[in-house]
Amino acid sequence: MRKHIILLLIPLFFMTSGKAKITGMEKQTITDETRKEAIHKLKDKFGTKKEFRIKRGVKQAASLWRSTEGTQEEFITFCMENFIPEGEKLDRMFDKVSRNMEILWGKFHEMDVLLKEPLHLAGPPVTDLDMMFGSFNPGAHLTEDLYRNKIGIMTALNFPYYTLEEKSKKGTGWSRKQWAYARLGDVFTSRVPADLKQEVSSTLTQADAYISDYNIYMGQLLNEEGKTPFPEDLKLIAHWGLRDELKSQYANDKNGPENQEMIYKVMLRIINQNIPQKVINSNKYKWNPYSNNLYQDGEKLAFERELDTRYKTLLKNFRVMKKEDTYHPHYENFIERKFEGDYEMAKNKVKSIFETFVSSPVIRDVGALISDRLGRDLRPYDIWYDGFKARSGVSEDKLDAILNEKYPTAESFNKDLPHILQNLGFDKEKSQEIASKIVVEPSRGAGHAWGAEMRSDASRLRTRIGEDGMNYKGYNIAIHEFGHNVEQTLTLQDVDYYMLNGVPNTAFTEALAFIFQKRDLQLMGTGGNNPDRNHLRALDKLWSCYEIMGVSLVDMRVWEWMYDHPEATPAELKESVTRIAKDVWNRYYADVFGVKDSPILAIYSHMIDNPLYLSAYPLGMLIDFQIEEQLNENNFAGEVQRIFTKGRLTPEVWMKEAVGDDISVDPLIKASEKAVEEL
């Protein structure tokens, strides 16, 4: 789960995407006549062969110029003096801007990491002062300053911004340098006020803190017989911890279904917001999630429910993102910015991929197979069925004992990173090189990976480690996050141009994280050699995609609804989220599960703390499956290094260079059809 990679880099994203400030509400000041005159004079000076770059560059520069930068005449003079037609001088400008932006972004990122440490790392309770510093965006004024001193405008004048459609058409024929030039053209495209950037940073940090401290003390839960079925010290974060505990109960032959029903009931209470406020992150009370009764010292208590805080938080995210809409000339709203800007995939294309997949007949066959394996009708929580994984037949208690001893601290896991990489096929030298750029730290939340922004810095792997050491749930997440860290390191350290560092979008880093995560037992030496492992892998991936694609479809529709109802109250949003979740369930899930009107697809925490991030997961799973097929036919470590040093191309171009085809549901569906037939 790359929960924090985007969320925590959102303040930085406004820098790395070149979003900057408009003074107050001031808009473009350059007139059409001035722009045309500048273009005419530049064409006279450099000729019509440079017409595209001249027109695009002047248009970009004009959209960013304000009265604080000078008069109409001064704009024309600026264009005449600073437009570089081609050649060595343009190359030198690119090199200098790239070098200096790495320094600026890297240092501001480093400050952001350090300021947020009290919020992210295990330690004393978070104070109001911690929250104030953690919400502070030290780089909020950076791009405005770069516009004020005209560096940003000069860069926009010389490095054209290409739309997604243009990148898709032209990109297959571009050289690496042309791609790097195009990515520099993405940097300075709009001006977002610094105070709004700061508000975004604060809002999202508060949302993250809300989710990071949303824990349920499972040992305090009462069933209908008044018993506590879970260990006294079991503390689970919503929704990830609850989900993973629910998954682990498939191996519990004695009372697994009963425990799963209880977890499901807790999830429904969270979605509906009738969970008692006092049981959130507290072990002082006993709670029966079935009857929703609260007790202390055997006495039944009156209580206040959580007063729609979940939906207040989501609304705050929406409203702060909506405030930015007017400052982005290339995108109508945040939904467009997220899909066409961040993902570089049109929302309707992503939606079509997901709807095609969740409607597939093979999913109905797999649902019947799961029901047969379980020996009962499916329940809504079986969207997290875990029986296709090799670990489902291994005692989690045994795994916990091994890991408690092996990794008692974050430092012990950190020291073992080179050995883990060598087990995956990386040579000793490369393993040491990659591991030297990763720092493991104990996490306050579920765990996350946070990449560096300059090559002299290291990426962070945050993981939960209890007093007894690392357990299997924590290890499984840590290996996932380690996959992110390896991607972050390769795509920063080994990519030829800094402006190409990274991957096309967050789905691609999720892909490598999933690839690492599924090898967790192999790395422990307990993976086994099931002859049906490829079939099981396909079915496990299919079922995981089925779950998260539904969640993603809910997320998209919720954002569309919020844009249609910008003045909604938290209560109205709660009602709509629940209705949307039930509608998606009834359309794509009810026939498989035999249950109507379940709102379970609304439980995912990223819906609340990481705006429109959820689509990255299923896209990442599809990419993962396609890459995995490539890895199975070649050297694992060599292919990982080849594929993940292509840098930040568009998804379509990256995929074709990596595996020879665009993102598609077909390979996974075909493999699953074969698996069902064989099994």
pTM exceeds 0.95: no
- pLDDT band for 28, please (50, 70, 90 cuts): low
Contact 584, 554 (CB under 8 A): yes
- The string of pLDDT tens digits covering residues 617-634 is 999 999 999 998 888 877
Exposed/middle/buried for 185, CB within 10 Å: 0-12, 13-18, 19+?
buried
- pLDDT band for 395, please (50, 70, 90 cuts): confident
Which strand ranges, in their side-by-side order, compose the sheet holding 293-296? 286-288, 293-296, 299-301
Residue-number span of the structural domain to which 68 is assigned: 3-196
Q: Are residues 411 and 380 in the same domain?
A: no
- List the beta bridge partners of residue 441: 462
Q: Are residues 550 and 610 in the same domain?
A: yes
Helix (H/G/I), strand (E/B), else coil: 131: helix
Give the pLDDT mean for 202-211.
94
Residue 455 placed within a domain: yes
How wide is the angle at C-alpha 145 spanned by C-alphas 56 and 197, nearest 5°? 90
The β-bridge relationship of strands 447-450 and 438-442 is unpaired
- pLDDT band for 467, please (50, 70, 90 cuts): confident
Q: Cα-flanking dihedrals φ and ψ of residue 450, to 5°?
A: -140, 110
CA 142 to chain CA mean position, Å = 24
The overall average pLDDT reported for the chain is: 92
Tell me how crowded residue 212 is: count the other CB atoms within 10 A of its CB.
Answer: 22
Among 505, 524, 543, the domain-final residue is 524
Q: Are residues 147 and 131 in the same domain?
A: yes
Contact 616, 7 (CB under 8 A): no
Residue 643 placed within a domain: no
B/e letters for 330-351, b = 16+ CB within 10 Å, e = fewer, are ebeebbebbbbbbbbbebeebb
Angstrom distance (rounded) from CA 45 to CA 36 = 14
- The string of pLDDT tens digits covering residues 49-94 is 999 999 999 999 999 999 999 999 999 999 999 999 999 999 999 9
Q: Are residues 606 and 577 in the same domain?
A: yes
The β-bridge relationship of strands 235-237 and 215-217 is antiparallel
- For residue 198, the model assigns a pLDDT of 87
- For residue 631, the model assigns a pLDDT of 87
Q: Is pLDDT of 529 > 70?
A: no
Angstrom distance (rounded) from CA 164 to CA 10 = 21
Residue 114 placed within a domain: yes
CA distances from 128 to 131, 132, 341 (A): 5, 6, 34
DSSP summary character for residue 233: T
Q: Are residues 241 and 282 in the same domain?
A: yes
Give the pLDDT mean for 466-492.
94
How wide is the angle at C-alpha 106 spanned by C-alphas 644 and 443, nearest 5°? 75
Q: Are residues 77 and 188 in the same domain?
A: yes
- For residue 18, the model assigns a pLDDT of 35
Among 257, 289, 307, the domain-final residue is 307
Q: Are residues 458 and 576 in the same domain?
A: no
CA distances from 332 to 2, 30, 227 (A): 27, 22, 54
- pLDDT band for 393, please (50, 70, 90 cuts): low
Closest CA to 143 of 57, 9, 22, 10: 22
- Determine what percent of the chain is predicted with pLDDT higher than 70: 95
How wide is the angle at C-alpha 178 spanned by C-alphas 174 and 182, nearest 5°? 110
DSSP summary character for residue 236: E
Helix (H/G/I), strand (E/B), else coil: 287: strand
Angstrom distance (rounded) from CA 504 to CA 587 = 31
H helices of 213-328, in order, are: 240-248, 256-272, 309-323
Give the pLDDT mean for 635-648.
95
Angstrom distance (rounded) from CA 220 to CA 198 = 39
Q: Is pLDDT of 264 > 60?
A: yes
Angstrom distance (rounded) from CA 442 to CA 211 = 17
- For residue 374, the model assigns a pLDDT of 96
When divided into structural domains, the chain yields a total of 4
Tokens of 571: 């209560």
Q: Are residues 74 and 219 in the same domain?
A: no
- Determine what percent of the chain is predicted with pLDDT higher than 90: 82
Of the listed ranges 292-301, 395-404, 434-443, 599-608, the one predicted with least confidence: 395-404
Q: Are residues 45 and 100 in the same domain?
A: yes
Residue 641 placed within a domain: no
Q: Cα-flanking dihedrals φ and ψ of residue 17, to 5°?
A: -95, 5
Angstrom distance (rounded) from CA 446 to CA 462 = 8
CA distances from 89 to 96, 162, 177 (A): 11, 22, 15
Residue 653 placed within a domain: yes
Residue 150 placed within a domain: yes
Between the ranges 94-103, 132-141, 465-474, where is the mean pLDDT highest? 94-103
- The string of pLDDT tens digits covering residues 339-375 is 999 999 999 999 999 999 999 999 999 999 999 999 9
Residue 202 placed within a domain: no
Residue 264 placed within a domain: yes
- The string of pLDDT tens digits covering residues 561-613 is 999 999 999 999 999 999 999 999 999 999 999 999 999 999 999 999 999 99
- pLDDT band for 648, please (50, 70, 90 cuts): very high
Contact 508, 475 (CB under 8 A): no
- For residue 434, the model assigns a pLDDT of 98
Angstrom distance (rounded) from CA 564 to CA 575 = 15
Q: Are residues 268 and 316 in the same domain?
A: no
User: Which residues does 632 contact at the CB level (< 8 Å), separation at least 6?
Assistant: none
Q: Dump the DSSP string for 359-406.
A: T-HHHHHHHHHHHHHHTS---GGGGG--TTSGGGGS-HHHHHHHHHHH
Closest CA to 347 of 359, 329, 334: 334
Among 161, 196, 231, the domain-final residue is 196
Q: Cα-flanking dihedrals φ and ψ of residue 445, to 5°?
A: -95, -155
Q: Is pLDDT of 193 > 90?
A: no
- For residue 230, the model assigns a pLDDT of 97
- The string of pLDDT tens digits covering residues 405-435 is 999 999 999 999 999 999 999 999 999 999 9
Q: Are residues 484 and 547 in the same domain?
A: no
Higher local confidence (pLDDT), 211 or 14: 211
Give the pLDDT mean for 220-224.
96
Q: Are residues 189 and 325 in the same domain?
A: no
Q: Dump the DSSP string for 528-554.
A: ---TTHHHHHHHHHHHHHHHHHHHHHH
